[in-house]
Structure 1
Amino acid sequence: MTLLAFLLLLALVPAGSARGRHPPKAAISSPVFGPRQVYGVLGGSVTVKCFYPPTPVNRHDRKYWCRQRGSACFTVVSPDYVADGYQGRITLTDHPEAEHFLINISALEQGDAGTYQCGVGVNGRGLSFRVTLSVAEAPPVPEAPELFYVKLRSTWSVTCGFGKDTAELKRYLCKKEKEGCRNIINTYQDKDVPARVQLTHEDPPGSFRVTMTQMDWEDAGLYYCGAGEYGKDNTSKALDVFIYEDKNFPHLKTNITAKNGSSATFECLYEPLMNSSTRFWCKREGKRCDIIIDNTGYVKENYEGRVAMFENPKNKTVAIILNQLRIEDEGNYWCMSNELRDLQSSTELTVVPGEPALTGKKNVTAQVGSRVNLTCCYPCKYYSFEKYWCRWNKTGCAMLPAQPQGLPEPGDACERSARTVVLSLGPLAREDEGWYWCGVKRHGVFGEAMAVWLSAEGEAVPPGGAYSDAEVRKGAAPESPDESHGSNTLALVLGPLAGLILIVVTAFAIVKYRQLKRSDLVSVGSYRTNISMSDFESVRDFSASNSVKESQETPMGGDEFITTTDTPESDATTTKAKRSSKEDADLAYSSFLVTSSSIAQGSSGGDSAVLDLSPPQDRV
């Protein structure tokens, strides 16, 4: 039952899709390609061209031409060998830069007819292609098809010409099949023109070129280009096309789907252009292609600010970004060159409804001379991408320094889950008006982009005096450059000086406070007590006019005192002199003794009282 279901599913798979997924057997088994049939004339010569993949190994490997007899193939010629019977009339020449080698056989004999193989490496390895050689006794001989060795996903271009007499006839390209020759494109065809095929008229009159992009495995085969009707007019040419895969060839997208209002990035093949060549990008409209942008600075008027071209030689591509997408942008776009035909490619664009991932204010108006911030909001899926801002012009988009801002600021048109990258401009000048692009890219490949139009209005304000939002609302004028610079310089000079003065004053105040504090602390014997100096001011004169015993506390004997006798003159001098905190304490102590003596005398009827200053244990 399972097997039956599998067979039914297999039968429902379209033949075309299966054919597209799997290359022809010949392409899988051997990437070497040559002519299927070669014709020569008896006594004449014939040249066989064999192609091989341009890998470093193949370029240096052995090339050979062998004759098949049964299941074996015997070497006829190689770079260091020529078989008997072919001496002097066969050569093998390798052209690795052109990815092929040539076998030339002269003095053809009837016995030379047969089946041969051209190959690379050792016989039997599979890198070979079978060729049949026919030798006619006399001309004419059939014309062999022209060979084309085409890379998978690349572009095939061929020119056909049949003289000016055929200039008015229908030109066509068809592919040979069992039922006949299936039409690919012709000059009379107005509808159902394949988007990836183009037919253009060439000089001289009667010549034309057919270009087919996105070559796939099923495109291999035998084609005919001609004038008139196939099979009726004897004006056709056979074209044998072989498809092979080059691992180093860029994989270009053939179909792009993008959201309305967002952007799309197209990739084109890159090769350095010649001095006389031009690279351009166009939109296919029927048989013609409407040029949108080229590398010389041309941009179609209604695409200004919407399209830009970025060359990336490192990965051999040219990126074309089209933003502000609309439904009418759907269609087929071609990368082309007027000389390098192999660089041509095509991509189909489909625009679907949706919201762009990059968001922000698309039109910004700012005052000349002010500062302005252009904000671009991106979702979490772009966190690891490189973000950029650039200034658009007709020749490209010059990168500008941008600043990541993290979460959006109040007023930004962003969701709270998004983050922002900001371009800050200022002081704004008239010439800053124009298109600015915000975008993302990864590993050098450009991704989504968003365009912002910046308008500069009003008269210029003094540079350096950017308006803040509050000043703009209140109409406050900014400082002039000189005032702003002067005030900033003055602040830089006076700030540190004021700080230094404050430190000195504070230190001085602390010292004075400590001096006053120490002067209030007086030693009395073995006891200490806090006595205010104001209590002694009233007895200063009394202490100066009486001879009393003053004592000083010495560091050696805390309870011992040395007495000195001072005269009134010395007291007066001491009062006027500048005293230290220690001297102030001594004076306070003397005054205290005098005051105590007077109090004692007043209370004892004139007897002198003695204050016992001896330690408590010595008292009796």
Structure 2
Amino acid sequence: MKLLLFLLLAAIPVTSSLSTERAFTSLVGGSVSVPCHYDVKYRDHVKYWCKGYQWTYCDILKQTDSPHSANDKISISDDRTGGVFIVTMRRLEKEDAAWYWCAIKLGGTKEADQYFYLHLTVTEGTPSLSVTSNLITGSEGGSASVSCQYARFYTKHVKYWCRGREWATCETLVGTDTPQTGGEKVSVSDDHAKLPRFFTVTVWRLEKKDAGWYWCAVQKAGADERIPLYLTVTDALLEVLDCRGEIEQRMREERYMALIERVGIAMISSAPTAPKARAQKMMAEDDPEAYLVIFEWLAMTALWPREF
């Protein structure tokens, strides 16, 4: 079956200005994210996601100019600076297993558009190696982690993290057999005592250049088991929007609350909606760490002081 799929993939024509991995696998009820890379000269064009074996007759499921909702089964986002649009499919069913196309509208007929094929497999049960999502996101200066779940028979096998677009030429960055001192750019831990079994990879001190394709992999006889993942690195300020719980928890600590009272920040409402705040001028020398935490919290609530 795998050989047949490979031969079919190799036989389908594609355009050179658009690309992604040729095959993706996910679980029933799970999700999959597909990063579609394109030439930046197409940054202002509409991108779309099409389903069907034949390009000419495939059905367009989502476009970058389509209305978006948080509950959509399919979402599409476009990083026009990085030259990649990402399609995410959620709540997968067996019927979602099919051929799909990343595509870019050029105007005129559909046949003139840029396009690239891929195949999605949706399986039931527990695969020998899997991840919750093959899209990882972190912000500059922060970290990003992914937990790769593996089957019991891989407990004593070496697990590793490889970087590169193509599996055959990817560079191994770290493995569970690699000595680690604690200051590495990339770390890996394997907690095989707990069930389910995971090995976790963390990339620290993120930079924009860290964005790209990676692989969770397990050494075994013959071909190693592996899963492709894509890491995106956002601007540092965007991290604030994703850490509401952590920041609010830290603000409940006594010294932060004392500082809040000193500088005149009052929490008007605590939940379930986002907290609101009013602020007067505050100085970093009051407590540098707490100052930073509160500054992040103010940014998160989008209630920036007007006169600072």
TM-score for the superposition, normalised by structure 1: 0.21
Structure with larger RCO (C-alpha < 8 A, sep 6+): 2
The structure with more radius of gyration: 1
TM-score for the superposition, normalised by structure 2: 0.37
